[in-house]
Amino acid sequence: MMFNKSQLKAIDKVISTDLIDAGIDYVIFMDMAGNTIAKHDNGKNNLDSVAFAALAAGNFAAVDAMAKLVGESEFSLLFHKGKKLSIHFSKVNDDTLLITMFTKDISLGLVRLKVSEAINQINKILVEN
Amino acid sequence: MALINIKNREVQIKIVYYGPGRGGKTTNLEYINKKYKQQIKTEMVSLKTQDDRTLFFDFLPFDVGQIKGFDVTIQLYTVPGQVKYNATRKLVLRGVDGIVFVADVQKEQRKKNIDSLNQLYENLKIYNLDLFNIPFVMQYNKIDLRQSKIPTLSSKIMQKDLNSLIKVPALEASALKGGNVILTLKKIISMTLASIQDQIF
Ligand SMILES: Nc1nc2c(ncn2[C@@H]2O[C@H](COP(=O)(O)OP(=O)(O)OP(=O)(O)O)[C@@H](O)[C@H]2O)c(=O)[nH]1
Ligand SMILES: [Mg+2]
């Protein structure tokens, strides 16, 4: 999967204005192999994002395989809730994932709304090229 | 740690194929899967990228029948060998009972073999396991390439690089053609069973 400069710039803008500015702490846009394409944070976290993305990819692949075992074509959304921080995974297209991390300061409902808007925009950017 | 169920007289053993990326770990499991189709009740699970690199693990459970009144199941796993997946490799090593190290005899992979073995030593420490004290088999894979123009390392050099300290059984193999794949498997199974003898038998 290849992205040109203007696509990457446009994706960066979507992530920072739609997601980070809305109160989401950390966003990683990555491919299914765990390679980070774009990543943004609000400066409050220091995360080993290479390890994180690799594990996220493994996790997503595992859940995908579970879906197939129970006869679902996919579980397109995954959510892990922690005491302070929660993580939300969604599929952008067949090749990419968007991962967001957020605290209790923002509701899951709003996160889902913002994420789905961002995904629509990213998909538009990807077909434009 | 092997899962031992005294009540049902079942033993489950976890064997992990470890080694550098593209060394042939997945190919080992694929060969075993093909060879022992009848004994393998479930499908092999492979969590991989689109270009067939292991992303999380391959998984192949495998019945070896009764040993001293216990039903023994072997669970074979591979790790993802690419450098960037070390966090994932560590997860796969949890609960490991025996290790096959699949090294690549291609000359250009020499450093990757050594780095991978060194990292395995570190990764095992997380689980209080000692590389020098766990059932371990070395496999020098892609031996078929010696017949090609691709530069390869002699087994003497492989031994010196990887096995001069730990001194474990080592086999030359060709996972692609099947050479010594089963022998490697048998060796690690018998070593692992021997190591848990005291706990059960
Ligand atoms: N010539 C030759 N090629 C082999 C042999 N074993 C594996 N290969 C090839 O090497 C490549 C990598 O094999 P894999 O089994 O996917 O390697 P791996 O160790 O699982 O790699 P990762 O999943 O990235 O860690 C494939 O193209 C295999 O066909 C062998 O014995 N001889
Ligand atoms: Mg593999």
Mutating to test ligand 1, I would choose from B27, B53, B99, B120 the residue with most ligand atoms within 8 A of its C-beta, which is B27
CA dist A36 and B51 (Å) reads 17
Distances (CA, A) of A125 to A17, A99, A121, B30: 15, 18, 6, 40
Report ipTM for this prediction: 0.80
Closest CA to B189 of B90, B111, B76: B76
Q: Do B48 and A54 touch (CB under 8 A)?
A: no
Q: Touching check for B37 and chain A: CB below 8 Å? A: no
Cβ-Cβ contacts under 8 Å, A34 against chain B: 55, 84-85
Please write the tens of the pLDDT for every residue from B95-143.
999 999 999 999 999 999 999 999 999 999 999 999 999 999 999 999 9
Q: What is the pLDDT along chain A (129 residues), one digit of tens a residue?
A: 678 889 999 999 999 999 999 999 999 999 998 989 999 998 887 888 889 999 999 999 999 889 988 999 888 778 899 999 999 999 999 889 999 999 999 999 999 999 999 999 999 999 876
The pair of three-digit structure tokens given for residue A59, joined into one six-digit string: 């996790």
Average pLDDT over all residues of chain B? 93
A57 Cβ under 8 Å from any chain B Cβ: yes
Task: Give the H or E element holding residue B120.
Answer: helix B110-125
Closest CB from A54, A55, A65 relative to B45: A65
Q: Is the pLDDT of residue B201 over 60?
A: no
- Rounded to a whole number of angstroms, the distance from the CA of B80 to the nearest CA of chain A is 10
**Whether B103 contacts B154, CB under 8 Å:** no
pLDDT tens for residues B51-95?
999 999 999 998 888 888 888 999 999 999 999 999 999 999 999
Give A45's strand partners: none
Structural domain boundaries enclosing A67: 5-128
For the cut 80, the answer to whether the pLDDT of residue B169 exceeds it is: yes
Residues having CB within 6 Å of any atom of ligand 1? B 19, 21-27, 53-54, 78, 80-82, 141-142, 144-145, 174-176
* Cβ of residue B55 closer than 8 Å to a chain A Cβ: yes
Nearest to A1 by CA among A28, A49, A34: A34
Q: Looking at residue B186, what is its pLDDT?
A: 96
The residues with which B141 forms a beta bridge, in sequence order, are: B104, B173
Rounded to 5°, angle at Cα B89 from B118 and B183: 75
Q: Please report, for chain B, the start and end positions of each structural domain, with discontinuous segments joined by +.
A: 3-190
Backbone φ and ψ for A99, nearest 5 degrees, come out as: -115, 130
Whether CATH 3.40.50.300 fits B3-190: yes
DSSP label of B81: -
Give the CATH number for residue A99. 3.30.450.30
3-state secondary structure string across chain A: CCCCHHHHHHHHHHHHHHHHCCCCCEEEEEECCCCEEEEEECCCCCCCHHHHHHHHHHHHHHHHHHHHHCCCCCCCEEEEECCCEEEEEEECCCCEEEEEEEECCCCHHHHHHHHHHHHHHHHHHHHHC
Nearest to B85 among A52, A54, A59 (CB): A54
- Looking at the partner chain, which of B45, B50, B88 has a beta carbon nearest the beta carbon of A58? B88
Question: Number of structural domains, chain A?
Answer: 1
